[in-house]
Amino acid sequence: MKIRQLFHFVITIAILVAAILISRALWNRYMNSPWTRDGRVRADVINIAADVSGIVVRVAVSDNQLVHKGDLLFTVDRERYRLALEQAKARLAASKAVMTMREQESERRAHLEGVVVSTENRENARSQADSAIATYQDAEVAVETAKLNLDRTEVHAPVDGYITNLNVHPGDFATSGVAKLALIDKHSFWVYGYFEETKLHLLHLGDQVEIRLLGNAPLLKGHIESFSRGITDHDNPTGHELLSDVNPIFNWVRLAQRIPVRIKIDTIPDNIPLAAGMTCTVIARPLLQTKKAQPQQHLEGTAPSIDKTVPRLF
């Protein structure tokens, strides 16, 4: 009987010890490990706008299409700008004729004797010739501007990327400088990991990072590129009189703020269709955990190469 009671006692103690060890391991895993489930895939979004105003006469792309740098996206009506170019050329020809006439008059009067033409007339003729030259140069610039406007009626892709949320159609009016579609840069995908402020001391520039997308996507590799240096303080907005509007209510439960950490994706496999806004889990592998650190030095500027000891940033 005593042996059985002793056995039960040992089993109970073993279970209790195992529970304590497992709880401690889980606590360290979730509270003291540099990882976060709050990761977002980001990309550079380019707002495409026409440089000239006019009616859209052609849309050469479709929604979600992959385009390459230089591909035609859409065309604004060219007729008005073609006529403006012809008008500028006509003014250039007229100003050239006036310039030639004024220069000839100035040269003739410059060679006449003072008895025939006064000094004042010579100076006036030279001034009129200079004015005609300036008018001609202005007309040349007007022609080049008209050519540029005519060329800008065709809007081309500035980078390789994906057309997203296409909402421009033939017949729409394109206003100069107003975006008509969005283009996601194909080569600009990166990840923002929103780490709790209590874990930032575990992260360093250049640390290797594992990126796990939701679903069955393959594991992505990356490294920490930079740290955000500020987030919005919701408890201290600016009041009506431009003074701090401090919230008088204090929340006893204080959650750790999440600081954005920018992560560069080292390689993107062709079989992974990344999209800006996708969620992911980010797990950092600090170099100082796998390699003994040498005396730390504070560095400014770019991140060091990942094969060297990386100094702590926070």
106 within domain boundaries: yes
Structural domain that includes position 127: 78-152
pLDDT for 238: 73
* CB of 292 closer than 8 Å to CB of 58: no
* CB of 61 closer than 8 Å to CB of 166: yes
Residue with tokens 């004797």: 113
CA distances from residue 278 to 117, 161, 237 in whole angstroms, order as listed: 83, 17, 30
62 within domain boundaries: no
Total domains in the fold of the chain = 1
pLDDT for 304: 41
pLDDT for 254: 78
Write out residues in the chain with pLDDT < 50, as ranges: 290-314
**CA distance linking residue 28 with residue 30, whole number of Å:** 6
* CB of 258 closer than 8 Å to CB of 247: no
pLDDT for 130: 86
pLDDT for 121: 73
Q: Which of 158, 183, 165 is nearest to 63 (CA)?
A: 165
287-297 per-position pLDDT tens digit: 655 444 444 44
115 within domain boundaries: yes
91 within domain boundaries: yes
pLDDT for 285: 86
Bridge-based pairing state of the strands 220-227 and 208-213: antiparallel
**CA distance linking residue 203 with residue 294, whole number of Å:** 16
H-helix segments, the chain: 2-31, 79-111, 119-151, 287-290
pLDDT for 168: 93
**CA distance linking residue 53 with residue 50, whole number of Å:** 7
| Residue 101: CATH number of its domain | 1.10.287.470
168 within domain boundaries: no
186 within domain boundaries: no
* CB of 257 closer than 8 Å to CB of 20: no
Residue with tokens 């010579």: 122
pLDDT for 240: 73
275 within domain boundaries: no
114 token code pair: 């003072």
Q: Which of 74, 50, 49, 47 is nearest to 152 (CA)?
A: 50
pLDDT for 28: 66
214 within domain boundaries: no
